[in-house]
Chains A and B, each alone.
Chain A
Amino acid sequence: MALLLRTHYKLAKTAIKENRTRSFLTCLGIAIGVASIILILSLMGSISNLVKSEVTEIGADLIVVRPSTTKDTLTDIVDELTSANSFQKSSLALTDIKAISDVEGVSAVAPIAISTNTVTSEKNTFSSVPILGTNTDFVKIEPLTLRHGAFLTGQNEAHSVVLGHTLSLALFNTINSTVGQMVTIMGEKFMVVGVLDEINRSINFDNIDFDNALIMDASALDRITGSIQIQQINVKATNTDSLPQVSEGIEKALTNQKLGDQNFSVSYGDNITHPASSLFMIISGMLTLVAAISLVVGGIGVMNIMLVSVSERNHEIGVRKAVGASSRNILMQFLFEALILSLLGGILGLGLGYIFAFIISTITPFAPFISWEIVLITFLTTFVVGVLFGIYPALKAAAKNPIDSLKHYR
């Protein structure tokens, strides 16, 4: 049997070699499908790697509280995106901060409330500036380095802001210190107390682009906008080993605070990176779907070529059957050919996908990331595609009547 399989493999190899151009084009069809899947998987992998590395950088003692329950399935994410309510009214409130900080083992608590607003300096006006409402504990949890000045302190925090590097440059047209300058938001004046160092890390578990953001006290933000939405509360535990207990404590405290409503989630460790951005997950899901469609198109190409090959080699099938090939031998011969075509396409696609990912990595912060799982997925999918689209032509070849096929002389 093994001998016969090797023979089939060799036959397929010669058949593919004989029709080089045709085989290459067929492979290319598969390769493009595989390459786009590889590209998407590698981008997704590199993004979650970025977030993961950030979490490890911050420290293992981080707990994150997010409104609503953990979004595990795609439907949950779609629900959240499509229902305006959950977006408008976060289930977390400023009063929860106090409740969390009272939990045993918690050393720092910082809310993250993002809204956008128009910011005016004496020189420029910018609309849609992301404003991060938080508190003084924020730097205890996340080590932000400041280029000039200091972070929000206990004194006069209601009228102070910290500017991101790019925002400071844009507002005051200078890379020099802008500490002491005034900015106006919603008609209220705030003094710049600090400017952040350039971070250049737009993807992180807070979902904030710090370079373009303006950071101010959460209650001050609440005051000027009327209401704020807390997207996330970052909690730092005193001890890494006590993370499960502390997160349980937070859960209990919040449930008490909300009179039994469990419309929030507490996560730590690797779970933090999971629902990094629901929108991103949806987009990548859609892209994977499109890539899968292109793989199907490639598979149809394989089937098409195999059908052509079967009718071209009608006579050969007749001769082979006459000298003793069984229908199964013929079936295997053509199935092998389809399989090799699609596996070759898979290998080509792996290479192409990696090259695309590499090109993208030169203009974005995503490093191309290819793990053995991705390679395995590639081979499994191409194998399945090969069998799926190769079986029909192979069956057709196997079912041919040798007498009729022999008459079919070219």
Chain B
Amino acid sequence: MKQIILPVLSAKSRKPMSENILIELKGLTKRYGYGDTETFALKDFDLEIRRGEFIMIMGPSGCGKTTLLDIIGLLDRATRGEYILNGEDVAGISARRQAKLRAKKIGFVFQNFNLIEDLPIIENVALPLVYTGYTKTSRLKQASRALARFHLQEREYYYPYQLSGGQQQRVAIARAIVGSPEIILADEPTGNLDSHSSHIVMEELKNIHEEGNTIIMVTHNPALTVYATRVINMLDGQIDTDVKTVADANLPQPISVKIKRKKKKAAEKAALEAAIELPEPSTKNPTKSKKAESRRKK
């Protein structure tokens, strides 16, 4: 199987910048009802999302924002259309594969936090790791680290009802990032919060984004668009306006991508040097990659 897939990937990587496209939606349509009651939440929706973007989706109620988020998050399926995630068509995959991708690649943040009331927050945060095969100790360690990041380390064994709304939402964000997913989907994360809490939550999201995470967020609050690198206005299941405020080249990238780029540049440089002079490039190349690897380990 791998032998068949690999040439396709290499063909894609030959195109400049295309490796950086995380999500590609083509002609995505979601229909509810049949006949007279037929309505379209999404209609021939096309969208390309690059790694490192912070997208805010705005629009009136019922324009299909949440449906779009559910489909991107693999919670829902489109009626038709293509959804390419990381170069893989995921529109028609089995529910089990979808669940696996959800566990590994996607983190959700909801308006109403959606924490499990019966579990202490540390176990809430560790929840995505349950389904990716970590032992309990390692789950709790990672969850504890994630909570510490949001200054909740002293409340690890509190229950959700013992926390304020802002704190609960920070727990939910910790849960979304604990498995280091590629995409974070946020459905009005500040919708239930007062302005102070929502400011804190937005700052946290901004920090996460600056580390190179891709965030797609639905919101009604135009004031929040200052955080975004791209603002999409939706109307009746289609894109109304699409504004990018940051150039693609300046998007923050995850460390792994940065390393890859550096490696690539180094390899190109080495190849160039090899083309000019004649000292063996084969010896130079591995040492560089080793350095890069050791850097990654740190």
Interface 1/0s, chain B 138-165, versus A by CB < 8 A? 0000000000000000000000000000
Q: Tell whether A122 is near chain B: CB-to-CB under 8 Å.
A: no
Interface positions, chain B 60-79, Cβ under 8 Å from A, are 70, 73, 75-76
Q: Considering only CB atoms, which chain B residue lies closest to A1 in the complex?
A: B133
Q: Tell whether A381 is near chain B: CB-to-CB under 8 Å.
A: no
Q: Tell whether A66 is near chain B: CB-to-CB under 8 Å.
A: no
Would you call B118 and A323 a contact (CB within 8 A)? no
Cβ-defined partner of B102 (8 Å) among A322, A327, A410: A322
Q: Considering only CB atoms, which chain B residue lies closest to A402 in the complex?
A: B75
* Bound: A318/B110 CA distance, A: 12
* Bound: A328/B94 CA distance, A: 12
Supposing A402-B75, A403-B76 touch, asked if A326 and B114 sit within 8 A by C-beta, the answer is: no
Interface 1/0s, chain B 221-248, versus A by CB < 8 A? 0000000000000000000000000000
Q: Tell whether A325 is near chain B: CB-to-CB under 8 Å.
A: yes
Would you call B118 and A316 a contact (CB within 8 A)? yes
- Choose among A4, A318, A326, A410 the residue with the greatest number of B CB atoms under 10 Å from its CB: A326
Q: Considering only CB atoms, which chain A residue lies closest to B134 in the complex?
A: A3
Interface 1/0s, chain A 1-28, versus B by CB < 8 A? 0011001001000100010000000000
Query: Which one, B51-59, B123-131, B201-209, B287-295, is touching chain A?
Result: B123-131
Residues of A within 8 A of B115 (CB): 319
Interface positions, chain A 281-302, Cβ under 8 Å from B, are none
Q: Tell whether A260 is near chain B: CB-to-CB under 8 Å.
A: no
* Bound: A327/B131 CA distance, A: 11
Would you call B136 and A7 a contact (CB within 8 A)? yes
Would you call B130 and A322 a contact (CB within 8 A)? no
Cβ-defined partner of B108 (8 Å) among A18, A323, A326, A410: A323
Residues of A within 8 A of B220 (CB): none
Interface 1/0s, chain B 96-122, versus A by CB < 8 A? 100110111010101010111110000
Cβ-defined partner of A325 (8 Å) among B110, B118, B131, B136: B131
* Bound: A322/B134 CA distance, A: 18
Residues of A within 8 A of B170 (CB): none
Would you call B108 and A322 a contact (CB within 8 A)? yes
> What is the count of residue pairs linking A and B with beta-carbon distances less than 8 angstroms?
72
Residues of B within 8 A of A410 (CB): 117
Q: How far is the CB of B120 from chain A (nearest CB, A)?
A: 11
Would you call B128 and A4 a contact (CB within 8 A)? no
Would you call A7 and B75 a contact (CB within 8 A)? no
Interface 1/0s, chain B 163-197, versus A by CB < 8 A? 00000000000010001000000000000000000
Count how many chain B residues have C-beta atoms less than 8 Å from C-beta atoms of the other chain: 31
Q: How far is the CB of B26 from chain A (nearest CB, A)?
A: 23
Would you call A324 and B131 a contact (CB within 8 A)? yes
Residues of B within 8 A of A406 (CB): 110, 114
Interface positions, chain A 304-329, Cβ under 8 Å from B, are 315-316, 318-329
Cβ-defined partner of B114 (8 Å) among A4, A10, A315, A327: A315
Q: Tell whether A409 is near chain B: CB-to-CB under 8 Å.
A: yes
Would you call A327 and B96 a contact (CB within 8 A)? yes
Q: How far is the CB of B13 from chain A (nearest CB, A)?
A: 28
Supposing A3-B133, A326-B131, A406-B110 touch, asked if A321 and B116 sit within 8 A by C-beta, the answer is: no
Q: How far is the CB of A217 from chain B (nearest CB, A)?
A: 80
Residues of A within 8 A of B134 (CB): 3
Residues of A within 8 A of B110 (CB): 406
Cβ-defined partner of B127 (8 Å) among A18, A320, A402: A320
* Bound: A18/B128 CA distance, A: 22
Would you call A324 and B128 a contact (CB within 8 A)? yes
Residues of B within 8 A of A315 (CB): 114, 116
Q: How far is the CB of A168 from chain B (nearest CB, A)?
A: 73
* Bound: A14/B118 CA distance, A: 9
Q: Considering only CB atoms, which chain A residue lies closest to B126 in the complex?
A: A323
* Bound: A195/B136 CA distance, A: 76
Cβ-defined partner of A324 (8 Å) among B102, B116, B117, B136: B102
Supposing A329-B131, A403-B75 touch, asked if A323 and B117 sit within 8 A by C-beta, the answer is: no
Q: Tell whether B95 is near chain A: CB-to-CB under 8 Å.
A: yes
Residues of A within 8 A of B104 (CB): 324
* Bound: A14/B130 CA distance, A: 15
Q: Tell whether B132 is near chain A: CB-to-CB under 8 Å.
A: yes
Would you call B99 and A326 a contact (CB within 8 A)? yes
Q: Considering only CB atoms, which chain A residue lies closest to B187 in the complex?
A: A406
Residues of A within 8 A of B116 (CB): 315-316, 319-320
- Choose among B99, B134, B136 the residue with the greatest number of A CB atoms under 10 Å from its CB: B99
Cβ-defined partner of A18 (8 Å) among B76, B118, B130: B118
* Bound: A319/B100 CA distance, A: 15
Would you call B75 and A322 a contact (CB within 8 A)? yes
Cβ-defined partner of A326 (8 Å) among B100, B128, B133, B179: B100
Residues of B within 8 A of A3 (CB): 133-135
Would you call A324 and B100 a contact (CB within 8 A)? yes
* Bound: A323/B115 CA distance, A: 11
Q: How far is the CB of A6 from chain B (nearest CB, A)?
A: 8
Supposing A3-B133, A403-B70 touch, asked if A319 and B127 sit within 8 A by C-beta, the answer is: yes
- Choose among A323, A329, A403 the residue with the greatest number of B CB atoms under 10 Å from its CB: A323
Residue numbers of B with Cβ under 8 A of A are: 70, 73, 75-76, 95-96, 99-100, 102-104, 106, 108, 110, 112, 114-118, 127-128, 130-136, 175, 179
Q: List 20 A-B contacts (CB under 8 A).
A: A3-B134, A3-B135, A4-B130, A4-B133, A10-B136, A14-B118, A18-B118, A318-B114, A319-B114, A319-B127, A322-B75, A324-B128, A326-B95, A326-B100, A329-B131, A403-B70, A403-B76, A406-B114, A409-B114, A410-B117
> 14 more A-B contacts (CB under 8 A) besides A318-B114, A323-B128, A409-B114?
A315-B114, A315-B116, A316-B118, A319-B115, A319-B116, A320-B116, A321-B75, A322-B73, A323-B127, A323-B175, A324-B106, A324-B132, A326-B99, A403-B76
